[in-house]
Amino acid sequence: MDPPRHTRRELVTTVGTGLSIAVTGCLGGGNDATPTPDLPFERQIDPSRTYLRTQSDDAGDARPIDLSALGVNAGQSVRLERLGSFAGSSGGTGLTAVFSGSDRLESADVTERVPDAIDAGEDYETSPTYNGEAPTDIPEDFLVADNEGDRTSVTVTVPDGATHLFVAAIDNFYEDNDQGDPPLAVRITSA
């Protein structure tokens, strides 16, 4: 007998004064069901947010991607692909990423802002900040796509202990960045 399969369902409910929320998840199968990865997954990457150190730059914090919510586990190979571009003083198509054992970021003036960063992929050395040339490099982050468009994706193995993934545009000054057309995004697929 085949194991039960999960099906995606979306529950939309109205709460309070007409605010609607949607909850999407895998349903069915019971406790012995094997979850299936919720891939492919796409998320727009706000190019004015980063997990890197900034200085005199009103950049926002990069939003973590919860790997367990996607059904992605340690030891699994995934392909990260850049979609779209961003506009700003440097603009481009480049993306870097770092796996983490939590969804936490330190304050923007800390060089290694991802306190639970876990090494994966080929190390990528990020440029110093535009203002003040402060170091930004996190030894555990890696290149997904370059700004020249020669490299648009990378395949990596999810390291032990990784629960989240942070992704950011390659830049050294973020506050002046806007989405390109099409917007900057990352697609995650099973490799």
pLDDT in tens, 23-58: 334 433 334 444 556 899 999 999 999 999 999 999
Instruction: State the pLDDT at residue 38.
Output: 83
Rounded CA-CA distance 79/156 in Å is 6
Is pLDDT at 18 greater than 80 in this prediction?
Answer: no
Rounded CA-CA distance 40/59 in Å is 28
Every domain of the chain and the residues it spans: 1-36, 37-190
Is pLDDT at 143 greater than 70 in this prediction?
Answer: yes
Is pLDDT at 84 greater than 50 in this prediction?
Answer: yes
Tokens, residue 77 = 């190979």
Is pLDDT at 12 greater than 50 in this prediction?
Answer: no
Indicate the burial class of 35 (C-beta count within 10 angstroms; 0-12, 13-18, 19 or more). exposed
Is pLDDT at 100 greater than 50 in this prediction?
Answer: yes
What are the phi and psi torsion angles at 115 (to 5°)? -65, -25
Is pLDDT at 65 greater than 90 in this prediction?
Answer: yes
Is pLDDT at 142 greater than 50 in this prediction?
Answer: yes
Is pLDDT at 111 greater than 70 in this prediction?
Answer: yes
Rounded CA-CA distance 82/36 in Å is 23
DSSP one-letter code for 42: E
Q: How far is CA 10 from CA 25, 134, 149, in A?
A: 7, 45, 37
Mean pLDDT, residues 128-150: 95
Contact 92, 85 (CB under 8 A): yes
Count of CB atoms situated within 10 Å of the CB of 126: 19
Mean pLDDT over all residues of the chain? Answer: 85
Instruction: State the pLDDT at residue 37.
Output: 67
Q: Per mean pLDDT, which range of 26-30, 53-57, 134-138, 166-170 is the poorest?
A: 26-30
Which one has a higher pLDDT value, 11 or 146? 146
Is pLDDT at 94 greater than 60 in this prediction?
Answer: yes
